[in-house]
Amino acid sequence: MPPEKTVELAGFALAHAAWSVCVGETLIPMALVDNGGDNRLIRIEGPAEKSVPLARQRLLDMKPTPDRWILVYDGISNRGGHRQDCLVVQPWDHSRSTLVRIVQEYDAKKPGQEFRIRIAPSLIDKDGHEIGTPELRTWLKKGVMKHDKAAPLFHE
């Protein structure tokens, strides 16, 4: 299981991403990097198909290696043949954790439609299975609630 600090930081990054897109904009891929408690936000400009791999490589190449980093980008989920906007959160740390990504579906703000978080986020392991243990969900929510502006966007 991934460390609590990593999941909590992933929750904060998820909340920040939701706050960024709640006004109707597409999310510029971003990374939240933690190095000894010093958090830094990095945005990676460009189309997602190019900027997301570039961001991953940039994070892997960082020296000295950070304690943890969280990559977040806009995506599309396909649940039961229905395409849905989603935020994809990829946490990383030095542990060999099974948490590979978090997928949070949302309704984008459009004319006549308000932004809305759709369902609880899916926590996915390296084999593509959901691993939403109560402990992981509590840690994720704790991170989300630390973002004062975005916390109200997330309803039970």
Structural domain includes residue 156: no
Q: How many CB atoms lie within 10 A of CB 74?
A: 20
Query: What share of residues in the chain are helix, strand, coil (percent, to 5)?
Result: 30, 35, 35
Q: Which domain holds residue 79?
A: 4-151
Q: What confidence category does residue 65 fall into, taking pLDDT thresholds of 50, 70 and 90?
A: confident
Q: What confidence category does residue 135 fall into, taking pLDDT thresholds of 50, 70 and 90?
A: very high
Q: What confidence category does residue 128 fall into, taking pLDDT thresholds of 50, 70 and 90?
A: confident
- Residue 57 burial by CB count (10 A; 0-12/13-18/19+): exposed, middle or buried? exposed
What's phi and psi for 52, nearest 5 deg? -70, -50
Structural domain includes residue 13: yes
Number of domains in the chain: 1
Structural domain includes residue 32: yes
**Closest by CA position to 17, among listed 59, 72, 61:** 72
Query: Which residue has tokens 């791999």?
Result: 53
Check whether the bond before 64 is cis (ω within 30° of 0).
Answer: yes
In the 8-state DSSP scheme, what is residue 146?
T
pLDDT at 64 over 80: no
Distances from the Cα of 28 to the Cαs of 46, 97, 101, 105, 133, in angstroms?
Answer: 8, 26, 18, 17, 30
Angle at Cα 89 formed by Cα 86 and Cα 92, nearest 5°?
Answer: 165
Q: Given this model, what pLDDT does residue 99 score?
A: 74
For residues 61-68, average pLDDT: 79
Q: Given this model, what pLDDT does residue 7 score?
A: 94
Per-residue pLDDT tens over the stretch 48-59: 678 888 887 888
Question: What value does the mean pLDDT of the chain take?
Answer: 88
State the Cα–Cα distance between residues 20 and 59, nearest whole angstrom.
21
